Amino acid sequence: MTLREKILAFMRKEAYKPLAPDDLAAEMGLKAKELADFWPLLAELERDAVIIKTRFGKYGVPERMNLVVGALSASEKGFGFVIPDDPEEADVYIPPDAMNGALNGDRVAARIHGQRPGGKAREGEIIRVVKRANAKIVGTFEASRHYGFVTPDDARLRQDVFVPRDEWGEAENGCKVVVEITRWPEGKRSAEGRIVEVLGRKGDPGIEILAIIKSHNLSTAFPPEVEAAAARCRDAVGADELKGRRDLRSLPVVTIDSEDAKDLDDAVYVERRKNGHFLLGVHIADVSHYVRENSPLDDEARERGTSVYLVDRVLPMLPHRLSNGICSLNAGVDRLAMSAEMEIDPRGRVVNYELFPSVIRVHTRLSYNVVRRILAEDDEELKEEYRPLLGMLADMERLCHILRQRRLNRGAIDFDFPELKVKLDERGRPLAVEKRVRSIAESIVEEFMLAANETVAEHMDKLGVPFVFRVHEEPDPEKMTKLNNLLHNFGQALSKPDDIRPKALQKVLGRVAGRPEERLISTVMLRSLKQARYEAENLGHFGLAATYYTHFTSPIRRYPDLIVHRILRETFTAGGISAKRRQKLAAVLPEISLHASQRERGAAEAERETVDLKKVEYMAQFIGDEFAGAISGVTAFGLFVELESGIEGLVHVSSMDDDYYRYDEERYSLIGQRTGKVFRLGDAVTVKLVKVSPAERTIDFALAGESAAAPQGRRGKGRPAAKPQQGGRKGKNDGGKGRNGGAKPVDGAKPAKAAEKQRPPGTKRKRPRNTGKRRTRADKSPT
């Protein structure tokens, strides 16, 4: 046990009151050697609010002082929630007058005052900002004669930033800028700052994407020392690098990815054995060989946490020389790999496995489209072109079905929500919005990566070494109770909502498949689950119904995978991992896991925002058109409607002027007080596009046709939902492949003329007539 762990364990379990530092050291009986480290460690713990120092100079732990420490998630309406560091704790509601200068994303300490009225979340007030999250803010500069203000692009940062005249730099009125905070808000006084970067004028081509990049603190270039380190890496594998590696270059290993992918982390091979078993080889780029611990490359990769796949560009975790070069498993060249070979029986059980460093040479680069057309469409021309691989592809398909069935048998939850791809022209203007097709090709890679991730996780957990796991905890019982209340409306139920198992949720999805309420129940169920995250402790993966899970398969684009490789490699050495090394890993892995989880969420948000921006720009040409859609979200301020193309917009309640509508939170519906009309999540409706706002990334609809008079289907009952689309992202449950979380079995400029012929399905061309109401910032809050 480390000294840090000893201090915390004592304060949490044995100390009966807050203690002065000398008393704490004495009570713990620390040795002279430990005392030297005690004082700086105590200061570090207090700085990070892991322990709290009282006004009388005594120390205690937050959970025993009616305090909670965590990240502040602020709303555009002014209130917020503290998301505790301890995932077992409930969130704490912070009213607007108790924010005390804290901003969205800040790490804070809050005092709990009690339960909110009506049995809702705990309520409290911010007493301390532990760490600021917004040292720089992106926004629009407004100049007056002697001073200026920056209005943040992020509406959750509700206060403008005051900028003195001598801190403007070269900014002009209306410019999009980056402002660095020099004085934080306090009481009624706004934050103060200075302009450190002028991005351009509002409306300039590409300015909105650049603003999103800057607002999420994403790096577009690598520091010189990192580029220099990358330049020192070899272009090809040398003979001296093969010692201790198994030579697999004779195997017909293949990669399967999208046509435009350049960072190929994984290659696969399947062989059918005489005993009926399958040999599955999953070979992952050995990035840890090139990115050594605490090197400039490693420090930069740790800070970035992940590659970010924006709508118009990729911001890689590693320099292109590595990510697209020596680390990428390109066809026809030697590459170093970390290999997982698994023998899998006809029931999908891994009966034997080996993990080892290797050298491979990819035989053929395949794309998802090619594999789909061979296996699902029986394309004769492609079958002839890839004839030597047909037997292995057939075995891959068989093994994929076996692995998937085993996963479903144990209770894994599969959601199937569409992921959109925006096609751009050379100037970054949207040409079309398409749903990504998910086929047997994606499923093959997904199942193989899941198998490898689980095998590595179980192997490392049983070795008992410090490690990084991918965890997905059990859902909150209160949310399951609310879900169960909804299910009762459709004759469904969870037998034990306070002790839920993934199999129970899977069965519900199976029973409602193809029924009108399927969309509604799938959406609410997904929102009721927790987010997957990285953790230094194995807590299992609820969505995958897996006892062991990690991310091993994408070290080029995810830092936790690189850490997993590094630790795995250390277990191959004689004597394994030393006690000193274990102690060091135990100390650093929790922080690495937390940072990686935060960067992952930030990257996903940035990716979603850039796609949303281009969707809005694309829809600008269809003002006045009518579309078929389905209600995808219900709030007190209106209905979110998703079109058949996957594009979503808001029908503001103020445009529903035929009645007064009451929001029923439990039934996810708006109900007309006079007419009794019910608009519920999943209902099919027809809407007219009335307004788009690229600056706010919003699309405004109004109900049209029969939907304006009454929702389609039976009043007050579950109306037919739009048929769920195939493909793409599969929710929060997480998987093994994919750009930023993998395949997941559990987010302006004038449009191009060429897009005129690519109108969304269900369009009825009308003359433009803007009848919508302007959406306020508060209206953009999620359902």
pTM flag (> 0.85): no
Cα distance between residue 385 and residue 772, in whole Å: 55
Nearest alpha-carbon partner for 518 in 438, 434, 415, 645: 415
Q: Per the structure block, which two tokens stand in for 711?
A: 């929702």
Q: Is the pLDDT of residue 72 over 60?
A: yes
Name the pLDDT band for 448 (thresholds 50, 70, 90).
very high
Q: Give the Cβ contact number of residue 474 at 10 Å.
A: 17
Contacts of 711 (CB under 8 A, 6+ apart): 677, 678, 679, 680, 683, 684, 685, 719
Residue owning tokens 């890496």:
233
Nearest alpha-carbon partner for 92 in 105, 76, 111, 77: 111
| Helix (H), strand (E) at residue 314 | strand 314-315
Q: Is the pLDDT of residue 54 over 50?
A: yes
Contacts of 107 (CB under 8 A, 6+ apart): 49, 69, 70, 71, 72, 129, 130, 131, 133
| Inter-helix orientation angle 296-304/579-619, to 10° | 50
Contacts of 78 (CB under 8 A, 6+ apart): 96, 99, 158
The percentage of the chain sitting over the pLDDT mark of 90, rounded to a whole number, equals 69
| pLDDT value at residue 575 | 73
Name the pLDDT band for 778 (thresholds 50, 70, 90).
very low
The one-letter code for the residue type at 378 is D
Contacts of 184 (CB under 8 A, 6+ apart): 101, 129, 132, 191
Rg (C-alpha) for the chain, rounded Å, is: 27
DSSP letter (8 states) at residue 757: G
Cα distance between residue 547 and residue 454, in whole Å: 8
Name the pLDDT band for 709 (thresholds 50, 70, 90).
low
Which regions of 495-625 does DSSP assign to beta strands (E)? 533-535
| CA dihedral of residues 196, 617, 609, 141 (deg, nearest 10) | 20
The percentage of the chain sitting over the pLDDT mark of 70, rounded to a whole number, equals 90
| CA dihedral of residues 211, 213, 215, 221 (deg, nearest 10) | -110
DSSP letter (8 states) at residue 305: -
Q: Which of 179-188, 446-455, 460-469 is predicted least confidently?
A: 179-188
Q: Is the pLDDT of residue 762 over 60?
A: no
Q: Per the structure block, which two tokens stand in for 435?
A: 């749903």
Measured over the CA atoms of residue 384, residue 387, residue 393 and residue 394, the dihedral's sign is: positive
Residue owning tokens 């800028």:
177
Q: Per the structure block, which two tokens stand in for 448?
A: 């193989």
Exposure class string for 514-529: b at 16+ Cβ within 10 A, else e:
eebbbbbbbbbbbebb
Q: Give the Cβ contact number of residue 40 at 10 Å.
A: 9
Q: Per the structure block, which two tokens stand in for 366?
A: 């395949």
Q: Which of 326-340, 533-547, 658-672 is predicted least confidently?
A: 658-672
Higher pLDDT, 727 or 66: 66
DSSP letter (8 states) at residue 656: -
| pLDDT value at residue 415 | 85
Cα distance between residue 287 and residue 338, in whole Å: 9
| pLDDT value at residue 329 | 98
DSSP letter (8 states) at residue 53: E
| pLDDT value at residue 515 | 81
Under 8 Å between Cβ of 404 and 396:
no
| pLDDT value at residue 353 | 98
Cα distance between residue 106 and residue 133, in whole Å: 5
Q: What is the mean pLDDT of residues 165-172?
A: 92
Q: Is the pLDDT of residue 262 over 70?
A: yes
Contacts of 463 (CB under 8 A, 6+ apart): 571, 576
Q: Per the structure block, which two tokens stand in for 556?
A: 């080029």
Query: What mean pLDDT value characterizes the chain?
Result: 87
Under 8 Å between Cβ of 643 and 625:
no
CA dist list (Å): 327 to 244, 518, 556, 559, 645: 18, 43, 7, 14, 37
Q: Which of 37-51, 283-297, 458-472, 556-570 is predicted least confidently?
A: 37-51
| Chain-centre distance for alpha carbon 247 | 36
Q: Is the pLDDT of residue 376 over 90?
A: yes
Residue owning tokens 């009616």:
66
Which regions of 175-285 does DSSP assign to beta strands (E)? 175-183, 191-201, 246-247, 254-257, 266-272, 278-285
Cα distance between residue 307 and residue 314, in whole Å: 7
Partner residues linked to 634 by β-bridges = 639
Map 478-498 to HEC letters: HHHHHHHHHHHCCCCCCCCCC
Higher pLDDT, 533 or 757: 533
Q: What is the mean pLDDT of residues 211-238?
A: 95
| Helix (H), strand (E) at residue 40 | helix 32-47
Task: Count CA within 13 A, CB hemisphere, residue 681.
Answer: 24
Which regions of 445-584 does DSSP assign to beta strands (E)? 469-471, 533-535
Q: Give the Cβ contact number of residue 168 at 10 Å.
A: 19
CA dist list (Å): 211 to 150, 181, 313, 530, 782: 13, 17, 14, 30, 22
